[in-house]
Amino acid sequence: MNKPSVKRQPAVKASRIPIVRKAVSRQVSGKPEPNNNAVKIAAIAVAHQASVRSQVLRAHKFRVGQTVLYTSSPISRPGASGTYKVVKLLPSDGDDYQYRIKNPGEAFERVAKESQLELDH
């Protein structure tokens, strides 16, 4: 029995040309997605401007030459409390302004925070 010869079709070779696919944008609406880094930078800039404004508006409570009542903490030197004269205004240490003060009965000057001083009447 002779079977009719069946010609086989040659297998189709895969193309060696790479397939290029475009990235699908996740942007659903026509608005661009916000840049999170830009938002963070803007927030930091606003906070910095607010802190600078508060420092500019706030001034030293006492003046040079004014007599003040110094209250030292019980931990540092409990006997140092008393009447002092403001010798120099110093910059802020973050929380409070600082002052250089001097007691007439002492040979040295001290540095005190504004929160440790009161106006002597």
Give average pLDDT by consecutive 10-residue segment, the chain, 121 residues. Answer: 63 57 56 66 70 62 94 74 94 89 93 91 74
* Predicted pLDDT of residue 7: 65
Contact in structure between 84 and 113 (CB atoms under 8 Å): no
**pLDDT given at position 37:** 77
- Confidence (pTM): 0.51
Which candidate, 82, 61, 58, 78, places its Cα nearest to that of 70?
A: 82
Domain ranges (residues) in the chain: 67-119
Helices (H), 1-121: 36-57
Show the tokens assigned to 50: 């607010």
Tell me the C-alpha distance between 46 and 52, whole Å: 10
* Dihedrals phi, psi of 99, to nearest 5 degrees: -135, 150
pLDDT of residue 83: 93
Residue 65's pLDDT is what?
A: 95
**How confident is the model at residue 94, as a pLDDT?**
85
